[in-house]
Structure 1
């Protein structure tokens, strides 16, 4: 009988130790300990002290051997031993812990902060509880004289603790969002926008050091076969393993990033000679020669790498990627390996040249079309406007926007094409076919000195109200926020609203909220897609979105969630406070309905009854 008692006691000790380890793990996951003061927590303790008429208050976290004060008022200590902490006792019990007079409490009366400075007498502490029940610390109020604390006051103190947890969860969501904006979710590598930032920084350093920067674009040969035969899950695992081998093949000062799909980029810094870069390429090729194991099978991978050097090949950092890309396609056609950019060999292909020539005449030949996708009010499910999307319909067939938009941007044709889109989209509003239109604007269009003047001209000629026009900024506009903020202010002065598109996919998106005076935030479809899955990643995506919405509301922004395809997604986005939704659930991008006022393309002299011709 006695042995069974001891066994039960031992089991309880093990269970308590496990619970404490899980609690500490939950605490460390927030990354809050030993951080600098933050105003949201300071304001909260000041408000609690004022509300309860207490001289002292704090937000306290209980570490393994100490209590640490994230925010405090009325005393100077930043931490203290856990063994002498009122709060460590408070988190070991249920509900709010109230101590009317510490000198009369057997647990506390010998504590140094009771017998000596600051001579604590009264204490009330409400636990800070995570969604899965772990108590991280307390929000507490204290006094140097005995006091009573009613049941109503205890309930209110619990509300203050809940507000502290809300701030803590929001802080973590912002950190997660920053990480997601900087890195590829599958491989953990820097993403496209982050890579471009790092590349620009490396080139600036090279200007002073006199050394070279080498940019490489790497593509896996015949990667599609892995996806088609073994499935996308195996393809994802292969990409993760490739990413790991690439990181081990370069120096710690170099960068490996994932651009998209099976395309990776390399940034080699402090390069003294071509031979240095060649050594890295040989290490990468040796690393990839070893077989990969997927679902019990050995998979052999070959790659194609194109390289360009700063400042040898170009003195424009952005041009490095274009040159490396051209060299990569050349060596891929030759069967794989690596190659340096060669201006004589890496000219545009005959197909690209033909498309470019045709694109020059697309407007005059009346080949460009606009389709429109509804932006829907989340409550009424009625359209509040439409996004204009560009299509190119040639006699030989439809050309994908993924093909001709980059071609237009790299050649400067995006400026006249973008102006055509803006004018024609405004005319759709003018003729009453839609009530409001949202138009994408490239960075190159924004850079035109007469851009605002042109927008004003379109408004005047079509006689539409400025608030009926939204202009969506692409991610590349965010790389020079100060420059574009001036243009956005000028547009705001006209009454035209600007939107930050694809929020969360690029390096600058988070900081841009504070730096760009935009009025609308469009959440990228990649965030929305995960919301339909309420497993771990889906819940995490929803919490991140909740943080985005909270931040956006703090800046007074209207929120549009893109890529909504299911009712489950729509309801989840409604629950976290999104304003508008856009996606296939509410309609595909389509030409305007036939039978509305006739739509006339003044440039071509032709008339048609819908935007699709």
Structure 2
């Protein structure tokens, strides 16, 4: 076996776990003990020769001490060098030797007691309290025995004094020794738990007298090398010599120091270290000692070097880039800008030299409180790139909107690319505003009301506070439009909107629902008295006439009020209740009314029908009748209009005028519309299979138009019934389309793109303008029956104007309500495309319509067209 070196010799159990400096101190202690033992042997050998009390055997005793003591001590020295300490048995041997001397020379009894006390110090410090107390016991037994045998003077007092003094000394010294050992062990645990090298040195300069063994792992040199003079300076990188000189000067002046420099390891590698030195001084300011901590920062230095390389690339790249570094992994506000290129400076309106080195939140205060720093920090922590929210930068002539994207870099850093999306953001903002606001008045529209109302109701439900909704309709507005035209009507609406805005609070939301109908949402002071106060302010604001183009216009308002949760627990029902209250207000002298259940229906009849309506839908009490539509040029039957009827078990066949309003108020209009659409589609598909090339027109309510499921539901229905989309025509009245033209344009556009035809019913009775008509995705207009009636009485001017206008816009024209045969000729002469009415056929049940389609050539309308020179022959 290869012999082990001294440093490899096993340590005794008592020293296991001691830190390196504690072991060194132990070895130094025992080497000092051995030295004193040699001195003690010399003294013991001289004592018999000097003191006559040893009698004639003095020379013999001196010889025995030398012959026995020196070899014994040599053995002890070897043991200390090998194991680092003496075995506890030597303590008892030392006591036995002293007692033997006292037995030979009783006159030295008192001196022996004093020597025993002195040796006890070494025993306690070297072996601990337990061995010390055992040695005290041995000494007391020996001293008492010698006292009884030789009766030296004062031996009893000596024994008592020794016992007390030795016990106290052993206790105190033992506590001190164990306390020091505990401190050293705790110090060892503390140092071992820190990923750093700790050292300590005396004075203001010179090598350390202690350095942690981790230095071997870090730098490769043994601890002894570091404790030798000049070693530390010899391994420092030459380029960092100035750093060390500065550090030495700072320490000599009594100041603490912190520095980063390079050290060449035993293996020849270069390691970057960060060193912090704490200086201890005395009362005069003189440096008494130094303590330092060394941390390996090579990884950080390499990362910083890579970041600097990235910064060089960033400087010359064409894309706007910022490099940021997260100084504290747990604090996203510690993002510091470490590089930026000129393009980034241009976009952010910042001077690059000014922002480099700044915290990101200091360079861009708008980042404070935003999620951007936290998301960049997350990119650094997770290593996953991410897009960030748009960020607005102030400082130039105009704010700049930037789109940000962050990607991770080494060294707790990230790159942030900047893209100028100001134009896109402004366009999106404008489109968003346009989609949520009325184009005429600039007020929020129905879509924005639905959003704010939903938010308000959720908040109110959580906080148990009321919400008030006021629905307002202008009185006499239709008369203004009819008498002066839509231009004056629009001017009146704008002026009244401004007045309403002025009398309402900023917290209140005023909305134009469409036409002359407005809504006001109250979320603060939404009590009964608060809502009535607002209604009164509105009516008073409208009492003052409005001057439009020199004409004084007077209008009033009817305001309906409903409350959440008293009258409704959802947004749609709340709007319905406020709308019902508004109609009640029209009959009230006060000009406003708070919803009450009796307002729902003006009679027991209507109230009864409302209760039966839902049951009627579930029991299939509704049926579809069809009114044929003819092509005036050819006389062909080209389509039918589907009209719903309620086959009431008690009241017989009921027309839509008796129940459609109830269906809209109760929310049953959508399922009713679906029933009509599905039945009409199935019937037309059957007729088409029988050889009748027909399309079908179905009336669509405004509530169905605003349903988000409309487009998808119709697509599913067309697929299920196999009705071609181009054979379906959806009709809306002109006033319904103009309630919210932007929403109508969006929804109707989706339907038209599916191939579905869109028709504006009752055209000429609403408030549409030519500009809206041009932009709406429609295919045809239906002239209101009132204009057809006037034409039958001889006035064709208005009908001609409508037909010419529609044709100029590329729209098909259908005349409805044709009651007389002469009207067919006039309409065809004016270029009208299609017609329907009682002269052609009244609305028919499906069976009667089957028969009519089979014999349509025999109709008087067909004969009338043939007499005028058109139409198909019977056959």
TM interval, short-chain normalised: 0.3 to 0.5
Kindly indicate whether structure 1 or structure 2 has the higher relative contact order, using CA contacts under 8 Å at least 6 residues apart.
1
The TM-score normalised by the length of structure 2 is: 0.35
The TM-score normalised by the length of structure 1 is: 0.47
For the pair shown, the structure with the greater C-alpha radius of gyration is: 2
Structure whose residues are more often helix by fraction = 2
